[in-house]
């Protein structure tokens, strides 16, 4: 059976939890909008037997550090209770490194890896990990579907990251856009 390791890399920096109308970013969207999109995605997976039987899910939260929330779990709404908010700065390098590490460690377990990298867009360009992924010493990049989602209207280098990873790039301005972006991440892997 086809197997997919879905890795969601979620920005939990301080800005993502605040209403940012004054900064012109995210238009009042918050961590609760992000969690609503994750819940909607989980329901979407659970309501589709072809998806729920073939996907294992990993969630990595990041701010100035990156942490594994859970790894290679079967889809379940109960997993949402494990995803909490810490706050901090934003470090793309550590976030993508943690996601790539999860891929490398499970490369023999899955046919494909689907990465959903979400941010409000404020961090330094992650040059080292982009170079490491593109060097592809593990010979698995062809099995990785990278997806980058910018939540809000902030200026971002996320589009450059997506370009250099040959990833799909999308802007999600509203909560509904974010939910649709997450579903599209899932659908891309099953086309």
Rounded mean pLDDT of 160-181?
Answer: 91
> Phi/psi of residue 81, each to 5°?
-65, -20
How large is the angle between the packed helices 31-46 and 175-188, nearest 10 degrees?
A: 40
List, in order, residues 6 or more apart from 185 with CB less than 8 Å away.
6, 41, 114, 116, 145, 147, 149, 168
- Distance (Å, rounded) from C-alpha 152 to C-alpha 162? 16
3-state secondary structure of 120: coil
User: Residue 24 pLDDT more than 70?
Assistant: no
Domain map (residue ranges) of the chain? 4-188
Q: pLDDT tens digits, residue range 63-109?
A: 999 999 999 999 999 999 999 888 788 899 999 999 999 999 999 99
CATH class of segment(s) 4-188? alpha beta
């Amino acid at each position: 059976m086809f197997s997919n390791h879905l890795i969601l890399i979620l920005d939990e920096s301080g800005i993502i939890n605040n209403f940012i109308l004054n900064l012109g970013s995210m238009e009042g969207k918050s961590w609760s909008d992000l969690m609503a999109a994750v819940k909607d995605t989980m329901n979407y997976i659970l309501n589709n037997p072809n998806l729920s039987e073939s996907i294992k899910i990993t969630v990595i939260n990041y701010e100035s550090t990156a942490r594994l929330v859970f790894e290679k779990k079967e889809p379940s709404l109960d997993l949402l209770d494990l995803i909490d908010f810490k706050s901090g700065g934003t470090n793309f390098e550590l976030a993508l490194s943690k996601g790539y590490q999860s891929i490398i460690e499970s490369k023999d377990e899955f046919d494909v890896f689907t990465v959903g990298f979400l941010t409000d867009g404020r961090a330094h360009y992650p040059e080292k990990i982009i170079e490491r992924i593109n060097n592809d010493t593990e010979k698995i990049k062809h099995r990785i579907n990278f997806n980058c989602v910018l939540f809000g209207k902030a200026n971002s280098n996320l589009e450059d990251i997506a370009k250099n990873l040959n990833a799909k790039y999308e802007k999600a301005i509203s909560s509904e856009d974010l939910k649709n972006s997450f579903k599209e991440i899932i659908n891309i892997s099953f086309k």
